[in-house]
Amino acid sequence: GTGRETGAALDSRAEQCAAFNTQEFMGRLYNWEPFTEVGADKQCELTCRPASYRFYVRQAERVRDGTPCFNVSSNDGCDGVLGSGSVIDKCGVCGGQETSCRKVTGSFQNVVVPLGYHKVLDIPPGATFINITERRASPNYLAMRSGTGASVVNGRWAVDPPGEYQAGGTTFTYTRPRTHAEGEEEKGESLKAPGPTSTQLQLYVSTGTQDGFYFDPVSKHEPGHDKIELRSRGSAPNRNARIPPRTDLPLDTQPPFVWKRGGLTECSASCGKGFQYREILCINRHTDEEVPERKCDSAAKPVPEEEPCNTHSCPPFWEASAWSECSVSCGPGMQQRQLQCRQSFGNRSTMVHPQRCANLTPPESTQACQLGLCSHWEVSSDWSMCSVDCGVGRRTRGVRCVSDQGSVVNDKECNSRLRPQGSEECNMGPCVTNWYFTGWSSTCSAQCGPGVQRREVVCLTRGGVREGKGGGECVGDKPAEMKACNGGLCVPTAMWYSSPWTQCNVPCGNGTQRRDIICVHKTGNDFAVVPASECAHLDKPAAVQECEMGECRAQWFTTEWSACSRSCGKGLQMREVRCLTPDKTHSPECDSNTKPEQEQICNTIPCSPQVSDENCRDRRHNCVMVVQARLCVYSYYKTACCASCTQSAQRAKRQ
């Protein structure tokens, strides 16, 4: 088939392309979608491309019969059949006779409404040719919300600009009055849409005065008429009646199962205005029996309409706020909370005059509180002497409750569970005289080889504990405190031994540390160095590790001192001083107070008597280096540096 490509045609091509989603192409599955950018000679082919990929494939030489081709003008109808001449009627039915819907008219005028949003009507699914217009300009605003309460236009407590707004599967055009010439009546706001709507919509008026407006659906909209057409498919005056099926289909094609409105659901609130809905049932058209919903057309299922219920006022009630903080940080205090008389209206509660709750017992608005005790326990004296000289007695000490100001208060002001002990048992030892000793220590003092075991030995007398020395008040010799033991055969154990880490090898930045690792044999408490091969079976500790000495900063660098300018009699040495960064580039960041000296005095010893020969003088500027290099033994240098060489020889003689 050929024809102009419409949204329905694109859906048809998408359905045909999607049929290949379960068929492998080049070894894998893709999600196919229509590809429309093909040449004129290929517009009737089924060309698809995989979603999110940049290639396309011809899946069939021809699209399914009845699918329009691209960019081909023809006398096609709304049913996709060439030459049918079918058009969509005012009920939104292709080829319909305007019998599957009914006209809905109404007005809203001269009604005193409160400020804010006031609901005018619900626009049901399937409505077409919608025209809602104010009779004349007013300070009010038309507003529309979806069935879920989402704003379409002017529904967010803010005024939206005129323009087109998408809602319920159609496009609404919102216009606002313009200033007219004097004497010409100024038109009000309007909301218009071609439909059909796919979901229920809610029309409101946002009012600041009591000026009214009306809506009047008519069959045809002509310029200059402030009227609307609001047609609804399948709606009927009796809400409990079965939803009539489409009558524009032949009898043999009418579905056997249709949707029917049933009973009401339970009210969402027991008072203050709740909401309930009519159940939508799937029934057998011939027997009127309920069947599973899957047998009815889900796309044709009506949206349950919301109906108010239990609109009587809810009884008032007391509502208490959270308790305030305790009035004091410690000790007995008070807490308070606010009480409000409230009453629910709809889905929200509002504060009302307290007189409405006069017959109700209000909750407590104050209560006692205590975050903690303000006093604490204090030990006022040390332990007393034991009440007996030997055996078990008792000793006591003073404990009192003291306030934060330091004064003694009643013990009830302090936490009794935290009270320190005021008395305890004391044991002054047995009231007999004898040697007492503990058991031997459980381990030998040597891990291997000979060692000793120890125990404590005391002489207990009536007067207390004394160390016996083979006489005194205890009878007999003092038992031994030590005895020999053997820790077993000493078997050398190989182990790695590591020395402490050296200092980091850099003064700043990242460097390394080293330590010595040696293999030793441990025999008892003795160690002996052995070849590393003896520890080869053990994991050797690291001998090198990284270290960090902090960020490197610029520092002063110097050259060596130059040769002294004079060999005697106070000369001068020079050197270069530079501030360099860690990468050895010039930097101005060094501390000038720590800059090394660039000059220093040298050879301050007095010069020897001058050479009497006037011809004996230095003829070269580097004679100091000649002397230092011991070149005066050569006749050339001895003549060229006569004065320096002569003075050097004289100094050597004095030494």
Same structural domain for residues 80 and 190? no
The one-letter amino acid code at 255 reads: P
Q: Which whole-number Å values give the CA distances from 137 to 130, 134, 213, 218, 592, in the listed order?
A: 20, 7, 9, 21, 85
User: What residue has token string 């008389």?
Assistant: 341
Q: Which of 66-75, 172-181, 535-544 has the highest mean pLDDT?
A: 535-544
In a domain, 164, yes or no: yes
pLDDT of residue 144: 92
Identify the CA nearest to 332 among candidates 290, 375, 388.
Answer: 375
pLDDT of residue 250: 42
pLDDT of residue 200: 92
Same structural domain for residues 120 and 212? yes
Is the per-residue pLDDT at 487 higher than 90? Answer: no
In a domain, 436, yes or no: no
Is the per-residue pLDDT at 454 higher than 90? Answer: yes
Residue bearing the bigger pLDDT, 375 or 210: 375
Which CATH number does the domain housing residue 153 bear? Answer: 2.60.120.830
For residue 20, the enclosing domain spans: 1-86
Q: How confident is the model at residue 579 (pLDDT cuts 50, 70, 90)?
A: very high
Percent of residues, the chain, with pLDDT higher than 70: 82
Q: Where is average pLDDT lowest: 237-251, 488-502, 558-572, 622-636?
A: 237-251
In a domain, 148, yes or no: yes
pLDDT of residue 208: 55
Same structural domain for residues 105 and 207? yes
In a domain, 272, yes or no: yes
Q: Where is average pLDDT lowest: 42-46, 219-223, 250-254, 468-472?
A: 219-223
Is the per-residue pLDDT at 72 higher than 60? Answer: no
Structure confidence by residue, pLDDT tens digits, 281-294: 898 888 878 899 88
Long-range contacts of 15-20 (CB under 8 A, 24+ apart): 16/46, 16/59, 16/60, 16/63, 16/64, 16/67, 17/46, 17/48, 17/59, 20/48, 20/59
Q: Is 125 exposed, middle or buried (0-12, 13-18, 19+ CB in 10 A)?
A: buried
Q: Answer yes or no: are the C-beta atoms of 63 and 16 closer than 8 Å.
A: yes
Structure confidence by residue, pLDDT tens digits, 91-119: 777 777 777 788 888 777 655 566 678 88
Same structural domain for residues 58 and 141? no
Same structural domain for residues 78 and 169? no
Q: Is 316 exposed, middle or buried (0-12, 13-18, 19+ CB in 10 A)?
A: buried
Contacts of 154 (CB under 8 A, 6+ apart): 141, 142, 143, 144, 160, 174, 206
pLDDT of residue 453: 92
pLDDT of residue 286: 82
pLDDT of residue 473: 66
Is the per-residue pLDDT at 260 higher than 90? Answer: no
Q: Which whole-number Å values give the CA distances from 233 to 100, 302, 358, in the listed order?
A: 6, 10, 53
Residue bearing the bigger pLDDT, 89 or 165: 165
pLDDT of residue 78: 66
Q: Show which of 86, 110, 138 is a domain's final residue.
A: 86
Cα-trace Rg, the chain: 55
pLDDT of residue 381: 92
In a domain, 199, yes or no: yes
pLDDT of residue 83: 62
Is the per-residue pLDDT at 448 higher than 70? Answer: yes
pLDDT of residue 202: 92
Q: Where is average pLDDT lowest: 64-78, 342-356, 420-434, 632-646?
A: 64-78
586: tokens are 């010039």
Q: How confident is the model at residue 472 (pLDDT cuts 50, 70, 90)?
A: low
Count of domains for the chain: 4
Same structural domain for residues 287 and 191? no
Residue bearing the bigger pLDDT, 98 or 633: 633
Q: How confident is the model at residue 216 (pLDDT cuts 50, 70, 90)?
A: very low
Q: Show which of 24, 51, 86 is a domain's final residue.
A: 86
Percent of residues, the chain, with pLDDT higher than 90: 23
pLDDT of residue 382: 93
Q: Show which of 242, 275, 309 is a domain's final residue.
A: 309
In a domain, 205, yes or no: yes
Same structural domain for residues 80 and 122? no
Q: What is the mean pLDDT of residues 300-321?
A: 84
Same structural domain for residues 21 and 49? yes
Is the per-residue pLDDT at 232 higher than 50? Answer: no
Residue 9 DSSP one-character state: H
pLDDT of residue 641: 92
Q: What is the mean pLDDT of residues 426-446?
A: 83
Q: What is the mean pLDDT of residues 594-608?
A: 84
Same structural domain for residues 170 and 126? yes
Same structural domain for residues 170 and 71? no
How does the average pLDDT of the chain come out, rounded?
A: 80
In a domain, 144, yes or no: yes
In a domain, 464, yes or no: no
Same structural domain for residues 70 and 20? yes
Same structural domain for residues 115 and 227? yes
